[in-house]
Structure 1
Amino acid sequence: MIHDIAVIGAGMAGASIAAELAPHARVLLLEAEDAPGYHATGRSAAFWEECYGGPGVVPLTRASGAYLGDHGFLTPRGALYIGRAEDAAAMAEFRASYEGTGVRIERLAPASLGAMIPQIRPEWSEALHQPACADIDVAGLHQHYLAIARRNCAEVVTRARVAGLAREGGAWTITSARGETWRARTIVNAAGAWADEIAVVAGAAPIGIAPFRRTVAVLRVDPPAPADLPLVLDINGGFYFKPDAGRLWLSPHDEIPSEPCDAAPEELDVAIAIDRFQSVTDWRIAAVERRWAGLRSFAPDRMPVYGFDPQAEGFFWFAGQGGFGIQTAPAAARLGAQLLLDLAADAMTAGIDATAYSPARFAAALQSA
């Protein structure tokens, strides 16, 4: 049997685009691990924040919000970008960069900041409030997309690490590391940190999608973190933290270059996170209860890559989604399916400029590779 489309990678990217494609085509979804979502999807800090990813990602984030909310995957949280007096210029520049995007950002008075974060140190007096931020039920959203794909007869195969891709007669032969083979007319490269490796296996030029390690630690703090605490982010990108059942999820907002791998946290990164956290708040850390790391993968311009490869026939990129791939999943998957199947834009994607995310923007680099 020849499938119409084989999607490589069953994390959020692969599961979501498979769900969008399955009603229209015969879809095969291949996952290298024992279960979908083992890597980046299963290790997300789980928030939807309109500014996350930068102004170029805002259209995808905002277009995804209604779908996420209507299906019950969002819980209101709110976000605060904070800084000290010397960060006022950075605050103003940040706010100005989102003018005209539709993102609502409000300057917060120091007294209001102290009320929202009771333990904050007084020198952290600058704040911007982003009220639309919400927590995402990542596991629920991922299972939602897998269920849609399966309901529409997509074939989901785990422990299917792709080792070979060869195109002949208008179709790809896909060979797994265990020697299994499948045939498909089109490949969707949703392999996350492994996206460039899959491109090379297919004979396509790598774009330069690079994985970076991100660390998260769960802290038991005294007093317990209030449930209504917002997501708190350093305007200079040095940390972020959010509450969870009285605990705090804390990250040093690190981006450590990494090979594609099963990422593990480094003690130094956890220590850096704690040091930064203690310079911001008076919370007493009673224990570090958990820690983990995941990989976030970026194209050279830090924008996602959606579209057919300009040189490799039947090879579609759906990768480079950094840390924003979950919050943009509904619109990105809808847009990707429309591009792949040559469907018209709908109400969700009508305001999105697909050319901003096309792999064609790397054409000159690809031709010289």
Structure 2
Amino acid sequence: MEQMGVNVQGKSCDIVIVGAGIAGASIAAELSSRARVLLLERESQPGYHTTGRSAALYSSIYGPPIIRALTRASGHFFNNPDSRFIETGLLRPRGLYFIARKDQSETFEKTQLELGDGVVPVSLSDAQETVPILRAAYVDRVLMEKGCADIEVDLLHQHYLKTFKSQGGDLLTSCEVQDIEKSSDGWRISTNAGIFNAPIVVNAAGAWADDMARLAKVKPIGLVPKRRTALLVSPPADQIIDHWPMMVDIDEQFYMKPDAGKLLLSPADETPSQPCDAQPEDLDVAICVDRIEKAFDLSVRHIDHKWAGLRNFVADKCPVVGFDSEADGFFWLAGQGGYGIQSAPALSRMAAALVMGDPLPRDIQDEGVVAADLSPNRAGLSA
């Protein structure tokens, strides 16, 4: 950090962050109390792509082990958000059912063994009492997670953006990065809004993170954006759905959950895509409706709204966080997959500690998280 204080359009800047989705906004909030930070966003508003299209769930059993650890470490903030910008809770209780057909018994037993005390079996009759439209002829066995909750995604995102600004951070929207080059002072970032310089650049560009690396002549990490489709439909007129849990196929071939009086459905698709403004494909919508209608007594005749978002993965499906070993001052914060929101409070604190050269926060270490496991220089990162 010895080179901090390089001039940026008449102001001094220590760190430039590219991307103001949940990843960029959260690390910006964590860093701006200690450094002069500039946050660049290509769209006219932050969170336009993946962050703004997420129906995020807080679940400590969802994702690979390191994601579960980061999610547990994020739990204190989600349950006790110490922020003047959060007036209501960040979580709304939402149970979760994993449902399985008879031919999925092997996956059911493997999942139950892997998740251990995180889930409990539920009888089909009890599951149907909670969700009357669950088809007994389709479902054979059910597992339940009690401790999960819906996340107020926009409230969380706005907390980070407002915290960042209140600490003197600068956000530039409609600012497209056109080139990134190494300079004697660190990095020179050329955009349609001007040229900015800083010793450190944080690559939090989501689906475009590898594109940002290529601009900087840094080796990409093999990021693969994958499209996920979602749609909203009306529930049966005779059903009160607010208390229903999220229901997930044990092989994650679909899921359904209540959302503001509607039912949010997804085929849980993971179709590789180029970085783009993702849009739903008619085939994926049709597949979703077919899978849902087989599992539930629900006839979908009208779709109120449909959309798609990109979830971004590297080969091992774990986030990439840390300085690139071959590009001094180039910091990766990418590859969060579908877990970026539920893990944001801990992951942003971890990333900020690494940027500043500090030890990882103790509570994150206590969950077994090791910086090397998320390093952009780890073995087997790219496929």
| Interval of TM-score (by shorter of Structure 1 and Structure 2) | over 0.9
**Alpha-carbon distance change, 309 to 167 in structure 1, aligned in 2, over 3 angstroms:** same
Matched, 1:93 2:103: no
1:4 maps to which residue?
14
Equivalents in 2 of 1:287, 1:77: separation in Å? 25
SS at match of 2:199: strand
Matched, 1:75 2:85: no
Match of 1:108 among 104, 108, 122: 122
Matched, 1:344 2:359: yes
Paired amino acid for 2:209: A
Paired amino acid for 1:63: A
1:42-83 Cα distance to aligned partner (Å, 9 max, x none): 000121122222233100111112211212211110111110
- Residue 230 of structure 1: how far off its partner (Å): 0.4
- Residue 364 of structure 1: how far off its partner (Å): 8.4
| Contact 1:5/1:26, CA 8 A, preserved across alignment | yes
Give the paired residue count. 362
**Alpha-carbon distance change, 346 to 179 in structure 1, aligned in 2, over 3 angstroms:** closer
1:173-229 Cα distance to aligned partner (Å, 9 max, x none): 1101x2610111101000000000001111110010110111100011213451000
Match of 2:220 among 194, 198, 206: 206
Segments of 5+ residues of structure 2 without an aligned counterpart are 1-6, 82-88
Q: In terms of mean alpha carbon deviation, does 355-364 or 143-152 score higher? A: 355-364
**Alpha-carbon distance change, 267 to 225 in structure 1, aligned in 2, over 3 angstroms:** farther
| Contact 2:122/2:142, CA 8 A, preserved across alignment | yes
2:3 maps to which residue?
none
Q: Percent same amino acid among aligned pairs?
A: 42
Paired amino acid for 2:281: E
Equivalents in 1 of 2:101, 2:59: separation in Å? 22
Equivalents in 1 of 2:198, 2:273: separation in Å? 31
Equivalents in 2 of 1:345, 1:260: separation in Å? 31
Paired amino acid for 1:54: P
RMSD: 1.6
Q: Which residues in structure 2 correspond to 1:197-346 (within 5 Å)?
A: 197-223=211-237, 224=239, 226-346=241-361
> What TM-score, normalized by structure 1, do the two folds share?
0.94
Match of 1:84 among 87, 97, 101: 101
| Contact 1:47/1:133, CA 8 A, preserved across alignment | yes
| Contact 1:222/1:286, CA 8 A, preserved across alignment | no
**Alpha-carbon distance change, 189 to 113 in structure 1, aligned in 2, over 3 angstroms:** same
Equivalents in 1 of 2:362, 2:378: separation in Å? 26
| Contact 2:16/2:201, CA 8 A, preserved across alignment | yes
SS at match of 1:222: coil
2:141 maps to which residue?
126
- Residue 125 of structure 1: how far off its partner (Å): 2.2
**Alpha-carbon distance change, 282 to 192 in structure 1, aligned in 2, over 3 angstroms:** same
2:85 maps to which residue?
none
Equivalents in 2 of 1:356, 1:185: separation in Å? 25
Matched, 1:33 2:43: yes
> What TM-score, normalized by structure 2, do the two folds share?
0.91
Segments of 5+ residues of structure 1 without an aligned counterpart are none
